[in-house]
Amino acid sequence: MSHQAYKFRIYPNKDQRVLIHQTHGHCRFVYNHFLALWNTSYEEEGKGLNRSIMSKMLTKLKKQEDTAWLRNVDSVALQASYENLIDAFQRFFQKQNNYPRFKSKKNPVQSYTTKNTNNNIAIVGNQMKLPKLGLVKFAKSRDIEGRIMRATIKYNASGTFYVSVQCEVPDFKPLPQTNEAVGIDLGITDFAILSNGRRVDNQRFTKKMEQKLKREQRKLSRRYEQAKKEGRNLRACMNYQKQRRKVARLRERVAFQREDFLNKLSTALIRHYDVICLEDLNTKGMLKNHKLAKAIADVSWSEFVTKLKYKAKWLDRKIVEIDRFFPSSQLCHACGHRDGKKPLAIRVWTCSACGTTLDRDINASKNILIEGLRLLKQQP
């Protein structure tokens, strides 16, 4: 069995919106409460808390008069809060992320997760049944397949609500073999250069929206300064909040455009090629280059590779990653002669040994393909 997520926009009514915000706040309280206790326990006893201890303490919290309001929201969502804390510490001990931090109500994105028990998460026509919320209208863009396991309700800075439903589905049927392989050189001028000569244009979603974003961001800054000058609380400044949501909607639109582009491109490549060879790029290191950081962040190489990997796993394709230090741009794909590093301004590759002339990016992608097929043969 495989896991697949479906994301939909939901349209809760006024009472449902209030309950969603309450659940976000209660889950944040539980997470921060146990994080504080974990820190204290570690300082005093040299060890943190475990799942059993936190479960018993949460039950006691619900029975106390000063925290009895925790019973007003979904109990499974509260349990998921300390499960998230356990997961955060496990990732920290495995050196996958930093030490867990306290959650803030000022975070522009708020979410909570609940599980499906006794069919309390279900699709009823054009509505979705969710724990405590009841039937909620949603934009049914596609049918949900498989058994629903859990749902995550998210509130974005743009003022919109979304639900992500995770389902357990049977393994996908492998795609028919095409007996074709491709090497891909990821870039900035062109998003991807394929070894067969095809170029995928870099859409530059952020740059297209940059001028409009700057204009709206300046308006937001002026309203912030005005509220600060008058000593007013930003939550009570309706003009500021309205402009904040407008800026968030623009950023959200850019993110959706980018995600749609990456999904379509990755799916097309998975369908057409049995083997896809890529470079293992050090994206985090590249982002330290302030001259290229904005352009690198806009192309989202890491997200693209992640999508390729999980789709390849679903549909029985192979992804081969080449070492990041492999000199793909210095080798001749025809004879293998290494000419050394050339200036970026030189866009045409000419081999000094065999005289082969080719676009430097296409030559690099062909070298990536050759190296990827070589590594694939060495795999057991």
pLDDT tens sequence across 140-150: 988 888 899 99
Within a domain: 118: yes
Q: Are residues 88 and 192 in the same domain?
A: no
Same domain, 100 and 207: no
Q: Give the Cα separation of 308 and 60 in Å (integer).
A: 46
In this prediction, residues 127-148 reach a mean pLDDT of: 92
Q: How many domains does the chain have?
A: 2
Question: Is 174 part of a structural domain of the chain?
Answer: no
Q: Could you tell me the CA-to-CA distances from 221 to 23, 213, 234, 258 in Å, in that order?
A: 31, 12, 12, 26
Q: Are 46 and 104 in the same domain?
A: yes
Domain check: are 89 and 231 in the same one? no
Last residue of a domain, one of 169, 192, 208: 169
Residues noted as catalytic: 185, 279, 361
- Would you state the pLDDT for residue 170? 85
Weakest mean pLDDT among 77-91, 260-274, 337-351: 337-351
Q: What whole-number percentage of the chain has pLDDT above 90?
A: 59
Average pLDDT score over residue span 37-55 = 91
- Strand 275-279 versus strand 318-322 pairing type: parallel
- Based on the fold, state whether residues 230 and 370 are members of the same structural domain: yes
Strand order in the sheet with 318-322: 199-201, 190-194, 181-186, 275-279, 318-322
Highest mean pLDDT: which of 124-138, 314-328, 332-346? 124-138
Query: What is the domain range of residue 62?
Result: 2-169
Averaged pLDDT score across all residues of the chain: 90
- Predicted structure pTM score: 0.84
Q: Does residue 175 fall inside a structural domain?
A: no
Reported as type and span, the H/E element at residue 337 is none
Q: Which of 131, 149, 169 is the last residue of a domain?
A: 169
Same domain for 163 and 194, yes or no, is no
Using pLDDT thresholds of 50, 70 and 90, give the confidence band for residue 278: very high
Q: Can you list the pairs that 250-258 forms with residues at least 24 positions away whose Cβ atoms lie under 8 Å?
A: 250/209, 250/212, 250/213, 250/216, 251/157, 251/158, 251/213, 252/156, 252/157, 252/158, 252/160, 253/209, 254/205, 254/206, 254/209, 257/203, 257/205, 258/203, 258/205, 258/298, 258/300
Residue 50 has pLDDT above 70, yes or no: yes
Residue 103 shares a structural domain with residue 241: no
User: Which of 148, 169, 190 delimits the end of a domain?
Assistant: 169
Burial class (CB in 10 A: 0-12, 13-18, 19+), 269: buried
Among 267, 264, 265, 262, residue whose Cα is nearest residue 175: 267
Residue 276 domain flag:
yes
Say if 214 falls within a structural domain: yes
198 in the same domain as 53: no
Q: Is 114 helix (H, G, I), strand (E, B) or coil?
A: strand
Residue 316 pLDDT greater than 80, yes or no: yes
Are 153 and 186 in the same domain?
A: no
Same domain, 100 and 209: no
